[in-house]
């Protein structure tokens, strides 16, 4: 049985010994793309076809950069002898399969979201309105609410079972088969991983919002109303710095969880 306490202890050891290698990768592949995306969203004129296409291209580029960074950090955190160059080469080789699997899962998620949207559209609800929920008939509103709650719970449990997805894609050179492999490796850990995901989400959200609020307030006081764009950018950058740090922790934990799960399945690993 995989012990989460042992995994956390090994994660701490990885962060203590390899933070100097992990941090630059996170800065380049996670933090900087987030800044570019934020700057673009603040500078674009919304509602134009050009803006929509550019935003989509940048979002795809950010996705590739983020996945590449996560794969590289997983490589470093999984095997202590892995160098930064080795990790970069491994991530480059596996980034396309990893992104492909994520897009497939994203498509499946979209299909799950379609039914309530179709029902609301057929009921004549204006989906672009901020008061769409209030304008729905009572029965439809109840259905949408229950469906959304059930879907959230399902996604949380599935997300827990997919926690090792990128680690499998990277280390076992699998594509779509990584979905079933991750599902098997996390067998018996579902409720612990769900609790961990919820706790981690809260731990990330609170300091991120706190930093964004404090930094935004300080810059708003310094720059006044005329510096709203700069204030929004700096606040978003501060929040991105916090989430990037937690991304490093998540990558190290996931790598050590993968090592422990594989060792549990095959003690000779």
User: What is the C-alpha R_g of the chain?
Assistant: 21
Q: Which residues contact 254 (CB under 8 A, 6 or more apart)?
A: 74, 77, 163, 164, 166, 167
DSSP assignment of 108-149 equals: HHHHHHHHHHHHHHHTT--TTSTTTTTTS-HHHHHHHHHHHH
The pLDDT value recorded for residue 130 is 64
Q: Among all chains, which residue has been given the structure tokens 């930093």?
A: 211
- Report the candidate in 147, 91, 157, 150 with the shortest Cα–Cα distance to residue 119: 147
Alpha-carbon distance of 65 to 58, in angstroms, equals 10
Q: Are 264 and 2 in contact (CB under 8 A)?
A: yes
Token duo for residue 266: 């095959």
Please, are residues 244 and 30 in contact by the beta-carbon 8 Å criterion? Answer: yes
pLDDT tens, 77-102?
999 889 999 999 999 999 999 999 99
Instruction: Identify the CA nearest to 78 among candidates 157, 18, 133.
Output: 18
The answer to whether 46 touches 40, Cβ cutoff 8 Å, is: no
Full pLDDT tens readout for the chain, 269 residues: 788 889 999 999 999 999 999 999 999 999 999 998 888 887 766 666 777 788 888 889 999 999 999 999 999 999 988 999 999 999 999 999 999 999 999 999 999 988 888 887 777 776 666 666 666 777 777 888 899 999 999 999 999 999 999 999 999 999 999 999 999 999 999 999 999 999 999 999 999 999 999 998 898 888 877 778 888 899 999 999 999 999 999 999 999 999 999 988 766 55
Residue 72 CB: number of other CB atoms within 10 A?
Answer: 29
Q: Which tens digits make up the pLDDT trace of 177-227?
A: 999 999 999 999 999 999 999 999 999 999 999 999 999 889 888 887 777
Could you tell me which residues come within 8 angstroms of residue 74 by beta carbon, excluding any fewer than 6 positions away? 166, 167, 170, 171, 251, 254, 255, 258
Q: What is the DSSP string of 189-256?
A: -HHHHHHHHHHHHHHHHHHHHHHHHHHHHHHHHHH-GGGHHHHHHHHHHHHHHHHHHHHHHHHHHHHH
Q: What is the pLDDT of residue 225?
A: 77
| pTM across the whole model | 0.90
């Amino acid at each position: 049985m995989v012990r989460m306490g042992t995994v956390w202890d090994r994660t701490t050891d990885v962060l203590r010994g390899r933070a100097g290698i992990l941090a630059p990768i996170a800065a380049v592949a996670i933090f900087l793309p987030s800044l570019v995306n934020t700057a673009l969203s603040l500078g674009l004129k919304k509602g134009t076809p050009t803006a929509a296409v550019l935003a989509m291209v940048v979002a795809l580029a950010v996705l590739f950069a983020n996945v590449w960074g996560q794969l590289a950090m997983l490589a470093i955190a999984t095997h202590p002898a892995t160098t930064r160059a080795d990790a970069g080469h491994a991530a480059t080789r596996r980034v396309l399969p990893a992104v492909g699997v994520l897009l497939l899962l994203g498509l499946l998620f979209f299909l799950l979201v379609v039914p309530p949207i179709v029902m609301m559209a057929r009921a004549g609800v204006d989906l672009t309105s901020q008061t769409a929920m209030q304008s729905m008939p009572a029965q439809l509103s109840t259905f949408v609410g229950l469906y959304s709650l059930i879907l959230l719970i399902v996604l949380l449990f599935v997300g827990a079972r997919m926690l090792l997805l990128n680690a499998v894609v990277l280390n076992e050179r699998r594509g779509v088969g990584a979905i079933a492999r991750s599902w098997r490796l996390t067998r018996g850990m579902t409720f612990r991983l769900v609790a961990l995901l919820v706790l981690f989400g809260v731990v990330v959200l609170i300091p991120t919002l706190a930093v964004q609020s404090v930094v935004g307030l300080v810059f708003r006081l310094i720059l006044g109303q005329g510096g709203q764009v700069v204030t929004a950018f700096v606040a978003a950058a501060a929040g991105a710095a916090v989430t990037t740090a937690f991304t490093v922790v998540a990558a190290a934990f996931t790598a050590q969880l993968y090592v422990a799960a594989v060792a549990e399945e095959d003690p000779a690993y």
